[in-house]
Structure 1
Amino acid sequence: MSPHSDSATSQGQRRTGDDGTPGAHRPAVRWALGGLSLSVLLSSLGTGIAHVGLPALTQVFSASFQQVQWVVLSYLLAITTLVVGVGRLGDLFGRRRLLLAGISLFTAASVLCAAAPTLWLLIGARAAQGLGAAVMMALTMAFVGETVPRERTGSAMGLLGTMSAVGTALGPSLGGALLAGFGWRALFFINVPLGLVAFLLVRRHLPADRQGSGTDRARFDHVGTLLLALTLAAYALAMTLGGGRFGALGTALLLAAACGAVLFVRAEARAASPLVQRALLRDPVIGAGLASSALVSTVMMATLVVGPFYLSRTLGLDEAPVGLVLSVGPLVAAATGVPAGRLADRFGAQRMTLLGLLAMTAGAFALSMTPARLGVLGYVVPLAVVTAGYAVFQTANNTAVMADVRPDRRGVVSGMLNLSRNLGLVTGASVMGAVFAHASATADVASAPAAAVATGTRFTFLVAAGLVLVALAVVAAALVRRTKGRPAPAGDGTAARPGRAGWRRGW
C-alpha cells in the first residue's frame, strides 16, 4: 500500500475497528471506494439521463430539437475539453480538495438545472455540471492507488467500471420514470441527494492532500491547457454537429482542431512543466492503453448507433422491446466489471486486456455474420460477448495504465484515460454512423428497407471487428517493445528498472 493509503487509514479507518487488526481498516476502505463509486455513478448518470427529456424540453421551452440538443452537448463538451486539465490541477493542488469542489459544483449545478427558467440557462448550468463531472471522472481512478492495496487495484477498477455501466444503464430507465411521474426538473434534482452523500463519504474517508510547494501554481501549464481545450472542443463539435456529414462548418472545425493540435505539441515542447509529458506517451503501456481505449470506445458506440435501427427496421421490434434489448449491453458490463477486476488481480492486467480484446473481436465478427432469421437471440448473444469483452478490457487496461504512474501524475493520466474514451465515443457516433449509412446505401436509414439495414449492420460490425484487431495489435506490439527493452532481472528476481512491475507480473 502506498504512503498515502496510510494517511487514509489514519483519518477514518481506525474509527471503524476495535481490535487494531488489519481487518479493522477494511470498512473505511470500503467507504472510501463507496464515495469514489458514487462519484463515477453521478458523472455517467448525468450523461444518460438527459437524453430522455429532450422531447419534453422542446415543448416546455418551445425550442427546436437542434436547440435542446445542446443540453446534452454542453455537458459532453465540458467533460471532453477539461478532463485532462482538471486532472493535472488535482496533481498540483490536491486531489481530495479538488474532488470535493467538483462534487459540490456538480450538485449545485444540478439544482440550477432543475430550477432553470429558460433553455439557455439550463444549457449553461449543464456546462457547469459537466465541469464538475470532469473533475469526478479525472480523479476517481487516481485515488485508487492511494486508498486500495496494490494487489486489489484491479478489483477497485472493476468496481468503478461497474458503477459507470450502472449509471449508463440506469439513465434512460430512471429518467423515463422520473419524467413520467414528476416532470423534467426531476431529471436533474435526483443528483442532489446522491451528490450530498458522495461529498460526505469523500470528505470523511479519502486521504488528506499532501502540502504542495509554493511553486505549484507557476508549474501549471496554462497555455497548454487552453490550447488542448480549444482543440478538443473544435474536434468534438466537428464530430457531433454534422451527424456524420461534414459540410463547410464541420471541415472548418476539423482544420481548426488540426491546427490546435500542432500548436499544442509545440507549446508542450517549450513548456517548463508541460500538461502532457512526452515521456508518458512514449511509455509502451500508457501509449498503447490510450490508443486502444479510443479504438475500443469507437467500436462500442457502434452498438448504440446501429442497434436501434437493426432491431426496429430489420427485426420489427417496437420501441419498448428495442429499449429492453439495448439495456442488455450496460447490464452485462455492470455484471462483468467486478469479476474482471478480480481476474486482473489474479492473472495480470495485460493478459486480461488481450483476453477482453479477443472476446470483442469474436463478438463483433459474429454480429457481422449473424443472419436476421436468428432474430433477437442472434443479436443479443454476440452483443453480450462484445460488451463483456469490453468490460474486461476496460478494467484491465485502466489497471495496467495506472499501476505504476508516479503519484504526482496520477490525475493527468487518469484524465487522459477518460479523454481517450470520450474521444472514441464522439468519433464513433459520427464515423460509425457514417459507415452504417454508407453501407445501407440509403439517404434515410430510418425509412430504409429491412434488407438494407441488415447489410449496413453486418458491414459496420465487420469494420468494428477490424478496429478491435488494430487495438489488439497495438497492445501486443507494446508488449513486445516492453519485453525487448526490459533489463535483465536483478539477483533478487525483480527488474532492475522500476516502474512496470505490474507488466512483468501479468506475464
Structure 2
Amino acid sequence: MKPCVSQSHRGRTRLALASLSATTMLSSLGISSVNIALPALSEAFDASFPQVQWVVLSYLLAVTALIVGIGRLGDMVGRRRLLLVGITLFIAASVAGGLASSLWVLVTARAVQGLGGAAMMALSLSFVGEVVPKDRTGRAMGLLGTMSAVGTALGPSLGGFLVDALGWRSLLLVNGPLGLVALVLAVRGLPIDDRVAGPGPAHFDRAGWVLLALTLAAYSTAMTAEGGGVGLLAVAAVAGVLFVRTEARAPDPLVSLELFRQTALGVGMAASALVSTVMMATLVVGPFYLSRTLGLDASSVGLVVSAGPVVAALTGFPAGRAADRYGARRVVVTGLLMILAGAVALSALPEEAGVPGYVAAIVTATAGYALFQTANNTEVMADIPVDRRGLVSGGLSLSRNLGLITGASTMGAVFALGAGTADLAAAPPEAVAAGLRATFLVAACLISTALAVVAGFRTSSACR
C-alpha cells in the first residue's frame, strides 16, 4: 500500500505545483503584456499617452496597495478560498476590460483585475510549505520563480502577436480561458483550508489595511507622477506614521512589528526591494542604450532585452536545488555578488564592447537575480508560522513591487542626470552611454548596501 500512497501523494503535489505555477505566470502576464498595446489603445480611444498609461498603472497600483492586506486576510479566512476568489475576479475583470467601451471603463476593469492579481501573487508562495516537504522548498520556490520569469518574458511577445493579429481586446480576453485553466487546477490541486483558528475575519485590522493601502498608493503614484509628486509623498509619509501608530495599538495588527524582529522577514524584504530597484534599471535604461548608442532597431532591441527574462527562467529551478543543497543564505549571497558583478561591469562598459559586452553583463546580473530571489523567498518563508504565511508572502511580493516602482522613477532620473538631458530619445549616443554608466554605478552601491544588510543579519544571527 505504501507505494500507492506515495504515488498518490506525489500526484497531488505535482497538481498543486501546476496550479501555483499557472497562477504565478498569469499574474506576471497581467503586468508585462499590456504595455505593448498602449499605442493601439491611444489610437482606439483617441487618448494621450499619459491617459492610456493608467491602463498599466491601475493594475500595478491595485496590486501594490492591497497585496499585504489580502495576504493577511487569506491567513484568517482561508488561503485556498481567497485565492479562488482572486482568480475568478481576475477572469471577470479581464473579460470586462476586453469588452470595455471607453478608456476609463478599461482602467477600472484593470484595477479590479489588479485586485485579483494581488490575491494570486500574495497567496501563491504561502502554499509551498503546505504542499512540498521542507527539504524541497527551494526547488518549489525556484519553479515559481521560473514561471514568473516565463510570464514576464512571454508577455511582450504574446501581447504583440495578439494585438497585431486580433486587436487589443484579445490581449485581455485571452485571460478568460487561461484563467479558467488556473482556476480548475487550483480547485483540484490545492489543499482544502483547515478550520480557521484565531480571532476570525471579524477582527481583521481594517483601519491598518486602509492606512497601509493609502500609504502605498500615495507613494506608488508619487513615483510615477510627473513633477515628482511631492504632495503625494507627504500624504504617504503621514499615512505611514499613522499606520505604525495604529499597528502598535491594535490587538491583532495587520503587520506585527514583533514578526519583523523574530524572523529574517525585514532583512529579506529590504534586500528584495533594493535588488528589484536595480533590476528595473535594466528594463528602463537598456532599451535606450541599445537603440541610441549601439544603433539597434526595435526588433533587435526586443530580442536583446528578452535575454534577461529567458536567463531568469532557465536559472530559477537550478537555483532552488542549490538552495536546498547548500543552504538558502549562501545562495542569497552568491546571487547578490553576481548582480554586483554585472552592475560594476555595466558601470564601466566601453561602447566598443557592443552587444556582446552588454549581454554578458546583463546575463550575469539576471542569473544572480534568479539565485537571490529563489533563495531569499525560501529563507524568509522557512521561519514563518502557518497562520502568517499569507501575510509574509504578500510582504515579499510588496517589497518586489515597491522596488520596481522606485527603480522606474529614481533610476530613470539618475539615467537622465548622467546623460545630461531629459530628452533621452534625442540624446547623442555618447550621452546615453554616460547615463548608463552613471545608473549602474548607483546600482552597484545599492547592491553593496543589500550585501551589507544580509551580512549584518548573518553576523547578528551567529552572535545569538
Which band: TM-score by shorter chain?
A: over 0.9
1:472 matched to which residue of 2? 451
Q: Counterpart of 2:137 in structure 1: which amino acid?
A: T
- Deviations along 1:183-234, whole A, 9 cap, x unmatched? 1111011111111111111111211111125831232100000000001000
In structure 1, what is the Cα distance between the partners aligned to 2:365 and 2:198? 49
Please tell me the residue identity of whatever aligns with 1:59.
E
Question: Corresponding residue for 1:504?
Answer: none
Which range moved further: 22-31 or 454-463? 22-31
Tell me how far 1:281 sits from its aligned partner. Answer: 1.7
Distance 2:141 2:158 in 1: 25
Partner residue in 1 for 2:116: 132
* Structure 2 contact 263–383 (Cα < 8 Å) conserved: no
The answer to whether residue 193 in structure 2 is matched with residue 184 in structure 1 is: no
Describe the SS at the equivalent of 1:274. Answer: coil
Q: CA deviation at 1:23?
A: 3.4
In the alignment, is the contact (CA less than 8 A) between 1:113 and 1:122 conserved in 2? yes
Q: Which residue of 2 aligns with 1:6?
A: none
The secondary structure found in structure 2 opposite 1:298 is helix
Q: Which has the larger displacement, 198-207 or 170-179?
A: 198-207
CA contact (8 A) 2:273 2:402 kept: yes
Letter in 2 for 1:446: A
Deviation of the 1:105 alpha carbon: 0.5
Letter in 1 for 2:436: T
1:47 aligned residue: 31
Matched AA of 2:165: G
State the TM-score, normalized to the length of structure 2: 0.98
Q: Out of 448, 461, 464, which is 1:482 matched to?
A: 461
1:342 paired with 2:326, answer no
Q: 1:3-35 CA distances to partner (integer Å, 9 max, x unpaired)?
A: xxxxxxxxxxxxxx9952423321221111000
Change (3 A) 1:228 1:55: same
2:130 to 146, 149, 164: 146
Contact 1:284 1:482 in 2 (8 A): no
Give, in whole Å, the separation in 1 of the partners of 2:46 and 2:76.
45
The one-letter code of the counterpart of 2:448 is: L
1:354 to 324, 327, 333: 333
Q: In the alignment, what sits opposite 1:58? A: 42
CA displacement at 1:252 relative to structure 2: 0.2
Residue in structure 2 matching 1:417, options 396, 405, 427: 396
Aligned counterpart for 1:321 among listed residues 271, 277, 300: 300
Q: Which amino acid aligns with 2:274?
A: L
Alpha-carbon distance between aligned partners in 2 of 1:353 and 1:283, rounded to the nearest angstrom: 19
Which residues of structure 2 form unaligned runs of 5+?
A: none
| Helix, strand or coil at the partner of 1:20 | helix
Distance of 2:262 and 2:455 partners within structure 1: 14
Aligned residue number for residue 503 of structure 1 = none
2: CA distance, partners of 1:82 / 1:192: 23
Corresponding position: 1:399 with 2:383: no
Shift of 1:285: 1.4
Query: Which protein shows a greater Rg?
Result: 1
Q: 1 CA distance for matches of 2:127 and 2:392? A: 12
Q: 1:22 — aligned with what?
A: 6
2:135 matches 1:156: no
The within-5 A match list for 1:192-231 is: 192-213=176-197, 215-231=199-215
Tell me what 2:100 maps to: 116
- Who is 1:266 aligned against? 245
CA RMSD of aligned residues (A): 1.1
The question of whether the paired residues in 2 share the 8 Å contact of 1:284 and 1:478 is answered with: no
Alpha carbons 1:284, 1:479 under 8 Å: kept = no
In structure 2, give the amino acid aligned to 1:127: A
Amino acid at match of 2:313: A
Say if 1:214 and 1:381 are closer, same or farther in 2 by CA, change over 3 A: closer
Whether 2:424 is the aligned partner of 1:440: answer no
Q: Deviations over 1:427-453 (max 9, x none)?
A: 000000000000111131111111111
Q: Percentage identity across aligned positions?
A: 62
Cα contact 1:90–1:139 (8 A) shared by 2: yes
TM norm structure 1: 0.90
> How many equivalent residue pairs?
464
Q: Which residue in the other structure is 2:77 paired with?
A: 93
* CA distance in 1 between partners of 2:126 and 2:388 (Å): 9
Structure 2: which amino acid aligns with 1:373?
Answer: E
1:291 counterpart letter in structure 2: A
Which residue in 2 is equivalent to 1:36?
20
For structure 1, list consecutive stretches of 5 or more residues without a partner in the other structure. 1-16, 486-507
In the aligned structure 1, how far is the partner of 2:135 from the partner of 2:408? 36
Offset at 1:286?
1.2
Deviations 1:451-494 (A, max 9, x none): 11111101111110110010011001001111111xxxxxxxxx
The one-letter amino acid paired with 2:262 is D
Question: 1:284–1:481: 8 Å Cα contact kept in structure 2?
Answer: no
Whether 1:170 and 2:149 are equivalent positions in the alignment is no
Matched, 1:382 2:361: yes
2:168 alignment partner, SS class: coil
SS of aligned partner of 1:211: coil
2:342 equivalent in structure 1: 363
Q: Secondary structure at the match of 1:443?
A: coil
Matched to 1:41, the amino acid is M
Task: Provide the secondary structure at the position in 1 that maps to 2:295.
Answer: coil
Deviation at 1:308, TM superposition (A): 0.7
Letter in 2 for 1:259: V
The 1-side partners of 2:422 and 2:215 are apart by 31
How many angstroms apart in 2 are the aligned matches of 1:81 and 1:180?
Answer: 33
How far apart, CA to CA, are the structure 2 residues paired with 1:31 and 1:138? Answer: 20
User: Contact 1:18–1:24 at 8 Å: present in 2 too?
Assistant: no
Q: Deviations over 1:308-332 (max 9, x none)?
A: 1100111011111001100000000
Residues 108-148 of structure 1, C-alpha deviations (whole Å, 9 max, x = no match) = 11110111111111111100000000000000000000001
Q: Aligned equivalents of 1:75 and 1:112: distance in 2?
A: 14
CA deviation map 1:31-63 (0-9, x unaligned): 110000100111100101110111001111111
Alpha carbons 2:263, 2:384 under 8 Å: kept: no
Note the alpha carbon deviations across 1:290-341, whole angstroms, 9 max, x for none. 1000000000011011101100111011111001100000000000000000
